[in-house]
Amino acid sequence: MSERGTKVVVVGGTSGIGLAVAEKAVAAGLQVVVASRTEQRVKRALNTLGAGTEGYTVDVMKEESIRDFFAQVGKFHHLVVTAGETPMGGFVTTSVEAAKAVFDSKFWGQYMSAKIAAPSIAEGGSITFFSGSFSRRPASGAAALAATNAAVEGLTRALAVELSPLRVNCIAPGLVVTPMYDGMDKTSRDEMFAQVGASLPAKRVGQPEDIAETALYLMKSRFTTGTVVQIDGGALLA
């Protein structure tokens, strides 16, 4: 996909999967806009992505911040929203407030981004949300996240119908090596990745680039909408 003038907005595009999507889009010759909550991350991403890329700060928990952001961006073609906090904790021991925070960030952040951005998306454009494999195969301690992921997937199908012909899809990644795990000590982190990878049919965990390739495909494929694409190395089969 290298259509001249095609503009892609990646909310959460300054690290991990979001940054990989932005890099793939730049490599494909697209105009890229990245957004994050912190100015430092935006500047770092722009240095990585090179000249011609735009970057803004936005707080997806605040509707006014999202409105200001998309007002600056103007018309564009594809929206990818990877932002969202994903903490885990036991169902009984995790406070309701903490569980609501998961939903507020990952569901409402994507919901509001799509709602506010949709009128600015050009004909033939698309929205790509992110859920996760816990919507289909939850782990202990992931009740709030599993429910949130399922809600994002339901939103995907609903908006594919309501916003038609604007295409709306969702990516559900499995375990991916991202900065989200940087808080773990290196030995424990590497052991976790190795253990999970060995249990998968793919025999490895995911890399951000694996997921980014799917995001680019969903932008390009004009006959794909209302779809949740599971990218998990075969976790559902393990």
Residues catalogued as catalytic = 131
Q: Record the tokens describing residue 186, joined without a space.
A: 């290196």
Name the helix (H) or strand (E) containing 78.
strand 76-81
Is the previous residue joined to 165 through a cis bond, with omega within 30 degrees of 0? yes
Q: Record the tokens describing residue 7, joined without a space.
A: 């503009």
Half-sphere exposure of 137 (CA within 13 A, CB side): 13
The Cα-based distances of 36 to 46, 67, 84, 153 in angstroms read 11, 14, 11, 23
Sign, Cα dihedral of 173, 79, 5, 122: positive
Distance from C-alpha of 214 to C-alpha of 207, rounded to nearest angstrom: 12
Q: Record the tokens describing residue 103, joined without a space.
A: 């939903």
Distance from C-alpha of 210 to C-alpha of 160, rounded to nearest angstrom: 24
Question: How many Å is the Cα radius of gyration of the chain?
Answer: 17
